[in-house]
Amino acid sequence: MTETEVATAAALFEATLLGRQDAGATILLEFAAAAGAGPLKAPAPGQFYQVRCDTGKEHLLRRPLSAFGASAGQGGLRLSFMVDVVGWGTRRLSLLEPGDSVGMLGPLGRGFEVAGVRKALLVAGGIGAAPLAYLARELDRSGVTYEFLAGFRTVSGVCPGLDELRGGVSVFTEDGSRGEAGVACDGLPEILRRGFDAAFVCGPQEMMAAAAGLCEGAGIPCQVSLDSRMACGIGACRGCVKEGAGGRSLCVCLEGPVFDSRQVSWKKRTEGSGPALR
């Protein structure tokens, strides 16, 4: 999609919380677009929504949340998000109760490009597992083979639903409380020998830089989902711009959040994990 097509696909609408689930260190929220919102397009894996956290004037800026799941049909659009409570806005979202409504803008940005991919590698760290779990479910539907390496600090942070995926899933926890002890990148050197058409990565900056380097070294095209603080989400304010390779500026909300890893300058980056998810 062109930048114009990405921007014009977004819609401003109200969504009602259907349910919430405390998923250890995160909160899983499921929304339905309010009646009268009209036909809404489901997001591609990797795309995000700007979600309003407050109905008053205390905090006007929305929070960018990557879709964890979505469906669009005769019953309307349903969306789910994994929320990591790290600040004022995400705390307000975590306090929502079923029946509460919030304003949303989306879907926004460029998602993962999977055309022509028959064998994929997914590498996630922490809350970065949310958009990749959505991608994995879409790969299941299309019959694409994949391996999914997912790393978390401890068992309480493990992304829900990984056991339901059809691909090969390897879980790592830093404290060894679930799966293998370590981080997701620990499994990369061995698994890369199997050969893949493409790799898809989302997580902390250091993990993404390491994973991208290993994938590029193995000759495997790698897509990474970047994080940045966002105000508008449509490329107007330029507040999310990050440094790219060769000194190029990357507008994360409009040109990304998913980029070819070779477009990214890793040396000065201090943030990670696919659009903010905060």
Does residue 93 sit in the same domain as residue 153? no
Does residue 133 sit in the same domain as residue 243? yes
Residue 276 within any structural domain of the chain: no
Interval 63-97: pLDDT, tens: 999 999 999 877 789 999 999 988 888 888 999 99
Quote the pLDDT of residue 277. 34
Residue 195 within any structural domain of the chain: yes
Does residue 148 sit in the same domain as residue 81? no
Does residue 104 sit in the same domain as residue 124? no
Residue 272 within any structural domain of the chain: no
Last residue of a domain, one of 80, 108, 136: 108
CATH number for 131: 3.40.50.80
Does residue 257 sit in the same domain as residue 140? yes
Does residue 146 sit in the same domain as residue 30? no
Does residue 153 sit in the same domain as residue 33? no
Last residue of a domain, one of 55, 89, 108: 108
What is the residue range of 93's domain?
3-108
Does residue 91 sit in the same domain as residue 136? no
Residue 271 within any structural domain of the chain: no
CATH number for 7: 2.40.30.10
Does residue 127 sit in the same domain as residue 256? yes
Quote the pLDDT of residue 269. 41
Alpha-carbon gap, residue 80 to 262, rounded angstroms: 30
Residue 114 within any structural domain of the chain: no
List Cα–Cα distances, 133 to 69, 99, 169, 194, 219, in angstroms: 8, 26, 10, 21, 24
Residue 278 within any structural domain of the chain: no
Interval 86-125: pLDDT, tens: 888 888 899 999 999 999 999 999 999 999 999 999 999 9
Residue 273 within any structural domain of the chain: no
Last residue of a domain, one of 52, 86, 108: 108
Does residue 103 sit in the same domain as residue 130? no
Residue 222 within any structural domain of the chain: yes
Whether the Cβ atoms of residue 106 and residue 48 lie closer than 8 Å to each other: yes
Whether the Cβ atoms of residue 234 and residue 254 lie closer than 8 Å to each other: yes
Does residue 19 sit in the same domain as residue 44? yes
Quote the pLDDT of residue 272. 42
Residue numbers of the chain with a pLDDT score lower than 70: 1-8, 35, 55-59, 268-278
Does residue 162 sit in the same domain as residue 222? yes
Quote the pLDDT of residue 271. 44
Number of structural domains the chain divides into:
2
